[in-house]
Amino acid sequence: MVDWGRIDLVVFDVDGTLYAQQRLRRAMLLQLLADAVRCRSLRTLRLLRTFRHVREALGDEEATEFLALQYQRTGERLGCEPAHVRAVTEDWMERRPLPLLAACRYAHVDRLFAGLRLSGKRIAIFSDHPARAKVEALGLHADIVVSATDADVARLKPDPAGLHKVLAEAGVPATRALMVGDRMDRDAAAAHRAGMLALIRSRKPLAGVQTFRRYDDPVFQPVLAPAPAFAPQVAR
Ligand SMILES: [Mg+2]
């Protein structure tokens, strides 16, 4: 169990951690298919899929130039300009999902954020993607938001560079911080390299890390704000 008395800072991943990523992807796929029919082309779908594979490989490689390489490599594979890759991915991965995010937010995340704040703990975000607008669209507030794409980070997980930035900004030692994520090979790996404890959202137990299924699991009970009471009935 997490000893919450020893935790001053909780760092959350975003995609798949604060909201159901598969649900969002299904909703976005409908928009993409409508776009493909309208344009009579699968180019956008193909570009986004290639971009995801390229980024995944860059994370595995721990590439130091990933900010440029993510657009260059995708462009090379598809025969288009890096600037085009950038424009399409920013549109389809960062802007268009925003209105759909709130409906995909995991239950009780808001209660956990509220409870952590009531307990005097600070909340940070560390994502491989730009995260400020997403966190806002999810109706959440974090004290610190750091992304792998920040110029002074420029490293994908599992590189702990982003966590080092979060810890420095918060002024909290790694031993008093907790990372909450959904990927063992990215979130837990980055946390462990930074000397932090990790909690991973997973249906199945994972070797070497504590897991949880939901935000109202026993592990969060000490820091979970009460569920909002039902509105009182108006007397007639
Ligand atoms: Mg994630």
Per the DSSP assignment, residues forming a β-bridge with 146 are 126
Residue 228 has a pLDDT of: 77
4-19+105-223 classified as CATH 3.40.50.1980: no
Residue 1 has a pLDDT of: 81
Measure 214 CA to ligand 1 centroid, in angstroms. Answer: 15
Measure 226 CA to ligand 1 centroid, in angstroms. Answer: 26
Cis peptide upstream of residue 158 (ω within 30 degrees of 0):
yes
Distance CA 149, CA 59 (A): 12
Place of tokens 């790694």: 174
Measure 117 CA to ligand 1 centroid, in angstroms. Answer: 22
Do residues 191 and 200 touch, judged by C-beta distance below 8 A? no
Token pair belonging to 205: 């137990």
Measure 179 CA to ligand 1 centroid, in angstroms. Answer: 12
Do residues 210 and 190 touch, judged by C-beta distance below 8 A? no
**Cβ-Cβ contacts under 8 Å for 95 (sequence gap 6 or more):** none
Residue 230 has a pLDDT of: 63
Measure 19 CA to ligand 1 centroid, in angstroms. Answer: 9
Measure 17 CA to ligand 1 centroid, in angstroms. Answer: 6
Torsion of the alpha carbons at 142, 133, 174 and 115, rounded to the nearest 10: 30
Domain boundaries, the chain: 4-19+105-223, 22-100
Q: Ion ligand 1 — residues with CB under 5 Å?
A: 13, 15-16, 182
pLDDT tens for the chain, 236 residues long, are 899 999 999 999 999 999 999 999 999 999 999 999 999 999 999 999 999 999 999 999 999 899 999 999 999 999 999 999 999 999 999 999 999 999 999 999 999 999 999 999 999 999 999 999 999 999 999 999 999 999 999 999 999 999 999 999 999 999 999 999 999 999 999 999 999 999 999 999 999 999 999 999 999 999 999 887 765 555 54
Measure 182 CA to ligand 1 centroid, in angstroms. Answer: 5
